[in-house]
Structure 1
Amino acid sequence: MTQPRPQFQDVMHLARRQAPALLLFSLLANILLLASTVYMLQIYDRVLSSGSIDTLMWLTVAVIGAIAVYGLLEQARRMILGHISQWLDDQLSVPVIERAMEARLVGGNGVEAGLKDVSDLRGFVGGDGMLTFLDAPWTPVFLMFMWLLHPALGLVGIAGAILLFCGALANDFLTRHRGQEAAAGLRRNQAAAGQYIDGAETLRSLGMSEPALRRWGERQQSLMEIQAQLLGRTTTIGSLSRSLRLALQVAVLGLGAYFVLHGELTAGSMIAASILLSRALAPIERSIGAWRGLVTARTARRNLMRLFADTGSMQNACVKLPRPQGRLRLENLNYYAPGAPQALLNRVAFSVEAGETCGVIGSSGSGKTTLCRLIVGTLRPSLGHVRLDGAEVSSWPSDQLGMHIGYLPQQVELFPGTIAENIARLRDVDSGAVVAAAQLAGIHEMILRLPNGYQTEVGSRGARISRGQRQRIALARALFGDPALVVLDEPNTGLDGDGEMALFNVLRHLKEQGRTVILISHQTNLLRTADRVVLLQDGCISMFGTRDEVLGALAGQAKRIAVPASVRDKIAANVPAQLKAVE
């Protein structure tokens, strides 16, 4: 059985368990950075005054050893952070795609946004930004050593640290909100570019390419200008911070020389204080450049928490339900699209017994496709229930439910891979089941005539094969695995005469095998195998009954509407033959 996907909070908790080791290595690494300061202090105050070659040699060996250990600790820190970032990607990418697909079905941002958040979080954890913030807490240690050398030097260091920290806060205040807005705008513009590419055929055929690209370019230029302004502010604050740090080092050297001249400080202490100040202020200065990465990672973390909170894992069920017989029951079904005040479906209720074929008819916009998506579980009802053999469809794990449902959507999508892989629903190809589904859909011979047969690559979105072929391959995919419930939304779209004949054979075969079929169609001739028919109007059930009852009632309505009583006598006087034909 498929293991449940991890929750975001669980993943982050496991990642935080590495924090003690990172903090310990950071403490030791920063302490070892003091080795060069101590070395400089001893050279000036002891070696040069004593002239001892042995002292110089052992001090040098000790410092080189400390630097080597520091290098190992730094490598260990980077390796730990690199492994954590890779582990985060491994643990989050698939669950994020899973949940982003579910969120996309109800109007969310989709897969791209979720993966971008994972990438931002991974990049910050595995980059230099995390090291900067790990080093920042040890700044007080260096300032304390400066204070021990001389309180006045410590005050200069503290003042410099405060000024640089204020610079980092100012950078965050000036760039955070506009930066988040610009990043969100760039994501939307990137998504729009993808839509333009997908709709290139429509754009070019209708002469819409130039205005579409012009609008996209104007938005992109505006967003990039905002990004450039924010980068300019960050660069300016960073330049001022570097200048301030250099000025503080000069100040410490000058102040230290003053104390040396007055006998309050040694020359070695003066040099050591300058080095300590550089070590103390370096993490704060680097944090100005790394702050944007921190803000981005924090935003990504918030987005991922919201994504995991708003959507449930499709793999959370621990009990595997048995294969359904195909009894379908809709109970007081209501559905509102996100942000829409009016229901697309309103109080829809009917039931279909196992083995029955139910036709759904109605005008465009009556809610037929929405009903299909609710039945197969890709949408969740706003109110009411869709039950298959008594189990709620929307809460049934998709990998289990999908093997019992065949779905042919109105807009056919094929995915990168071979024809066989698409028919097999991207699972391991079972040749017998794939060929059986293709033969039932009437496309086995057509596939064999292709250059590579079942191993023919369909290309991106099935671009390498015709629309009719895509439709029939999708029909074979819906029939793969002998599902108990088959939902066909306008299955004859794009089919030629042979394709429609194959479709009739499929409907007859499903009827003979006792499979439950929901058939959406504008053409009543497809309903010859239907036991019941539902008529939808404006999202509500207008009629429900046997095929003969509903179609007979519709024929009577059409007859009355076609020849109004007020004009029948005039028509009869002029064209009696036509009237008889109508009647």
Structure 2
Amino acid sequence: MVTPRPKAWLGPLLAPLRPAFREVVSMSLFINILALALPIFILQVYDRVVFYQGLATLEALIAGVAIAISFDFILRQARARLLQRAAVRIDARLGEALFDKLISLPLRVLESRPTSYWQVLFRDVDTVRNTYCGSTAVLAADLPFVALFLVIIFVVAEPIAWVIVSAVPIFLLLAWRSGHVLQKLTGDERESGIDRDALVAEILAGRGTVKALALGDSYRPRWERRHAAAIEKAYSRGGTGGSYLNAGLVVTALTTVAVTGFGAVAIIDGTLTIGALIATNMLGNRIISPFNQLVGAWRHFAQYKQALGRLDEMFSLPGERADSAIALARPKGEIAIEGLVYAYDEGRPPAIDGLKLQIKPGGMVGVVGHNGSGKTTLMKLIQGLYPPDSGRITLDGADVDQFTRREMAGWMGYVPQDSALFAGTIRDNIAIAHPEASDDEVIAAA
């Protein structure tokens, strides 16, 4: 079995996308430079055009800002398409890697978690994709350019620049605190959802028994408890997240009021122009807006961190043998079991304890016993689906642990205790391992 290094899967996933991310950063640089066009336009109109009645200057300014807005639109569209293509590649590569890993996990590992847990991992792929290619990626690309707007504000309106600078630490504190609190609340909400979904999956898996024995009333209290817990966690997370978002909006409003108030005093003192105040308000919004978004986006960052942790745990799980240790022609079928011991959980009595058995080729052997005596467990051990705690099982003298799952499945026919029909026709189910089989081969197998 192979155990990958922690996060060894993330580097190869992102490596082909680094040129695209560099292009996104380059486009963001020009987008943020072009964002200066409108505040400069407003500054010039109020301080030059209106004061000097320069209509020719106004026409030139309008033409220039129209060109800047056009280029801004083109760059934003190009950046969005670039992120969309990157999202498709992440979806395809990570989804395929996750499916391959899931298929390669040993049966005992798959049985150790509810079905809903494995399903949630595929939703984690969406979280990773949206973090690298969604609004959070745009926010991360735009945030460093806040320094550019601060420099411009100091140039055009130094008397009120410190008002905006003083608001930045408040937003950073809000973002940090909301992330710290929401990370735990989001994790609790997810665990409650998985617990509830696991019960639903259990009911649907045994729907025949549930309906035959009218167990709906018996399951209802369990469902209501788990559903209420999930609702409570979601309510708590939503209320806390909303409080931090509202706090961010209040700080934004107070910053605008403070900038305008101090700016008015500076205009009265003659150290600031009206155009500079309006332009500063616009540039201030370009600074405050990303930090305000950061407060709301921190929940998504917390979800991303948790999704990354779950996927890392998944990819770090040991998989089944991928290559055979020895080459073996199609076996004759002699099975030998020597001192076989297997327990489902540590500390519990073993389901099979010290079994010794030999099965010759061409014979017919019946294994009988009461429910829970280990008959199905023995079949899974012989198939190599479970690894024994001690002892060994050999096929034609070779330990079954040396062969791949595909080889063992090709050599041994197996009808599980609980058979399942997969999506498709009866023919599709018969030929599921060999979809290229002809109709005659399917009839012969049936």
Shorter chain as normaliser: what TM range?
0.7 to 0.9
The separation in 2 between residues aligned to 1:320 and 1:246, in whole angstroms, is 72
Aligned to 2:4: none
Q: How does 1:323-342 map to 2 (within 5 A)?
A: 323-325=329-331, 326-330=333-337, 332-338=339-345, 341-342=348-349
Question: Pick from 104, 108, 133: which aligns with 1:105?
Answer: 108
- CA displacement at 1:347 relative to structure 2: 4.1
* SS of residue paired to 2:278: helix
* SS of residue paired to 2:413: strand
**Alpha carbons 1:117, 1:300 under 8 Å: kept:** yes
Q: How does 1:70-469 map to 2 (within 5 A)?
A: 70-100=72-102, 102=105, 105-106=108-109, 107-110=112-115, 111-312=118-319, 316-317=322-323, 323-325=329-331, 326-330=333-337, 332-338=339-345, 341-352=348-359, 354-388=361-395, 393-394=400-401, 396-430=403-437, 431-438=439-446
Aligned to 1:45: 47
Amino acid in structure 1 at the alignment position of 2:443: V
**Alpha carbons 1:133, 1:287 under 8 Å: kept:** no
Report the CA distance shift for 1:264/1:347 in structure 2 as closer, same or farther (over 3 A). Answer: farther
- CA displacement at 1:277 relative to structure 2: 0.9
Report the CA distance shift for 1:14/1:358 in structure 2 as closer, same or farther (over 3 A). Answer: farther
- CA displacement at 1:231 relative to structure 2: 0.9
The separation in 2 between residues aligned to 1:278 and 1:377, in whole angstroms, is 63
Q: Structure 1 unaligned segments of length 5 or more: list them.
A: 1-5, 439-583
How many equivalent pairs are there?
432
Deviations 1:292-349 (A, max 9, x none): 12211221111111101113377x4499956421344445544332555433333445
**Alpha carbons 1:37, 1:276 under 8 Å: kept:** yes
Amino acid in structure 2 at the alignment position of 1:45: D
Report the CA distance shift for 1:198/1:275 in structure 2 as closer, same or farther (over 3 A). Answer: same
User: How much is the aligned-residue C-alpha RMSD, in angstroms?
Assistant: 2.8
% identical aligned pairs: 26
Aligned to 2:58: 56
Report the CA distance shift for 1:332/1:425 in structure 2 as closer, same or farther (over 3 A). Answer: farther
The separation in 2 between residues aligned to 1:84 and 1:127, in whole angstroms, is 10
Amino acid in structure 2 at the alignment position of 1:201: G
Deviations 1:233-285 (A, max 9, x none): 21122112112212211211221222222222222221111111100111111
The separation in 2 between residues aligned to 1:67 and 1:388, in whole angstroms, is 74
Amino acid in structure 1 at the alignment position of 2:87: S
The separation in 1 between residues aligned to 2:317 and 2:362, in whole angstroms, is 36
- CA displacement at 1:354 relative to structure 2: 4.8
Consecutive aligned runs of 4 or more in structure 1 exceeding 6 Å deviation: none
The separation in 2 between residues aligned to 1:104 and 1:244, in whole angstroms, is 53
The separation in 1 between residues aligned to 2:156 and 2:390, in whole angstroms, is 73
* SS of residue paired to 1:360: coil
Between Structure 1 and Structure 2, the one with more strand by share is: 1
Deviations 1:179-238 (A, max 9, x none): 201211111211211221232332233332023123212321232122112211211221
Amino acid in structure 1 at the alignment position of 2:311: L
* SS of residue paired to 2:349: coil
Report the CA distance shift for 1:27/1:214 in structure 2 as closer, same or farther (over 3 A). Answer: same
Amino acid in structure 2 at the alignment position of 1:30: N
Report the CA distance shift for 1:379/1:30 in structure 2 as closer, same or farther (over 3 A). Answer: farther
Amino acid in structure 2 at the alignment position of 1:19: F
The separation in 1 between residues aligned to 2:370 and 2:244, in whole angstroms, is 62
- CA displacement at 1:81 relative to structure 2: 2.4
The separation in 2 between residues aligned to 1:34 and 1:270, in whole angstroms, is 15
Q: Structure 2 unaligned segments of length 5 or more: list them.
A: 1-7
**Deviates most, 67-76 or 379-388:** 379-388
* SS of residue paired to 1:292: helix
Q: How does 1:520-539 map to 2 (within 5 A)?
A: none
* SS of residue paired to 1:346: strand
Task: Give the structure-1-normalised TM-score.
Answer: 0.68
- CA displacement at 1:120 relative to structure 2: 2.6
* SS of residue paired to 1:436: helix
Amino acid in structure 2 at the alignment position of 1:324: R
Amino acid in structure 2 at the alignment position of 1:336: A
Deviations 1:9-63 (A, max 9, x none): 4224444553322222222222221221222222222322333333222222222
Aligned to 2:3: none
**Deviates most, 388-397 or 404-413:** 388-397
Amino acid in structure 1 at the alignment position of 2:330: P
**Alpha carbons 2:106, 2:385 under 8 Å: kept:** no
Report the CA distance shift for 1:400/1:231 in structure 2 as closer, same or farther (over 3 A). Answer: same
Amino acid in structure 2 at the alignment position of 1:99: K
The separation in 1 between residues aligned to 2:323 and 2:429, in whole angstroms, is 26
Report the CA distance shift for 1:398/1:95 in structure 2 as closer, same or farther (over 3 A). Answer: farther
**Alpha carbons 2:334, 2:361 under 8 Å: kept:** yes
The separation in 2 between residues aligned to 1:193 and 1:371, in whole angstroms, is 30
Report the CA distance shift for 1:237/1:418 in structure 2 as closer, same or farther (over 3 A). Answer: same
The structure number with the bigger radius of gyration is 1
**Alpha carbons 2:27, 2:75 under 8 Å: kept:** yes
Amino acid in structure 1 at the alignment position of 2:95: S
Report the CA distance shift for 1:421/1:8 in structure 2 as closer, same or farther (over 3 A). Answer: farther
Amino acid in structure 1 at the alignment position of 2:101: R
- CA displacement at 1:384 relative to structure 2: 4.7
**Alpha carbons 2:192, 2:229 under 8 Å: kept:** no
Amino acid in structure 2 at the alignment position of 1:436: A
* SS of residue paired to 2:418: coil
Report the CA distance shift for 1:104/1:356 in structure 2 as closer, same or farther (over 3 A). Answer: closer
Amino acid in structure 1 at the alignment position of 2:241: T
